[in-house]
Amino acid sequence: MHDLHHPGSKLKLGLTASSEGGIFRVWSESASEISLHILDSQDSTITTDVISLERADGGIFWCEDERLKLGISYVIRADGPEGPRHAFQPERNLLDPYAKGLVRESPRDYHCVAIDTDFDWEGVTKPGTGLSESVIYEAHVRGLTRVNPLIPEPIRGSYAALGHPATIEYLTNLGITAVELLPIQALISEPRLINLGLINYWGYNTINFFTPHMRYAAESTRAQGPAAILRELKTAIRELHRAGIEVIMDVVYNHTAEGGHKGLTYSYRGLDNSNYYRQDDFGNYQDTTGCGNSLNFGNPMVQQLALDSLRYWSEELQIDGYRFDLATTLARDEHNHFNPQHALLSAMQSDPIISQTKLIVEPWDVGMGGWQTGNFPPIFPEWNDRFRDSVRRFWLSDIAQARNNGQHHNGVQELAGRISGSQDIMADSSPLASINFVTAHDGFTLWDLVSYNVKHNSANGEGNRDGANNNSSFNHGFEGETPNPSINFARRKAARNLMGTLLLSAGVPMITAGDERLKTQGGNNNAYCQDNVITWQNWDPNSHQSDFETTVAHLISLRKQYPALRPRSFALIEEPTPEHDQMLWFSVRGDEMTVDDWHNPERRTLQRLSYHLMNDGSKQGLLLVINGQEQVKNVTLPKREGIGSLELLWDSALELPPKRTILLNPGSKLRMVEASMQLFLVR
Give the amino acid at 539. W
Give 397's DSSP letter. Answer: I
- Spatial distance between the Cα atoms of 643 and 666, rounded to a whole number of angstroms: 7
C-alpha angle with apex 447: 442 to 452, nearest 5 degrees? 85
- Spatial distance between the Cα atoms of 364 and 445, rounded to a whole number of angstroms: 21
- Spatial distance between the Cα atoms of 541 and 576, rounded to a whole number of angstroms: 43
Query: From residue 75, how far is each of 4, 51, 209, 301, 510 by CA, in Å?
Result: 21, 11, 16, 21, 40
For residues 240 and 248, the answer to whether their CB atoms sit within 8 Å is no
Question: Cα torsion at 286, 288, 292, 296 (round to 10°)?
Answer: -60
Q: Which residues contact 648 (CB under 8 A, 6 or more apart)?
A: 658, 661, 662, 663, 664, 678, 679, 680
For residues 675 and 632, the answer to whether their CB atoms sit within 8 Å is no
Among 378, 256, 387, smallest CA distance to 329 is for 256
Partner residues linked to 676 by β-bridges = 627
User: How many Cβ atoms are within 10 Å of 116's Cβ, its own excluded?
Assistant: 15
For 25, phi and psi rounded to 5 degrees?
A: -135, 140
- Spatial distance between the Cα atoms of 158 and 83, rounded to a whole number of angstroms: 44
Query: From residue 524, how far is each of 31, 87, 398, 520 by CA, in Å?
Result: 45, 38, 22, 9
For residues 519 and 543, the answer to whether their CB atoms sit within 8 Å is no
For residues 303 and 297, the answer to whether their CB atoms sit within 8 Å is yes
- Spatial distance between the Cα atoms of 269 and 94, rounded to a whole number of angstroms: 9
- Spatial distance between the Cα atoms of 326 and 372, rounded to a whole number of angstroms: 10
User: How many Cβ atoms are within 10 Å of 392's Cβ, its own excluded?
Assistant: 23
Query: From residue 300, how far is each of 33, 88, 153, 245, 351 by CA, in Å?
Result: 22, 22, 46, 34, 15
The SS3 call for residue 550 is helix
Question: Looking at the annotation, which residues are catalytic?
Answer: 325, 362
Give the amino acid at 609. L
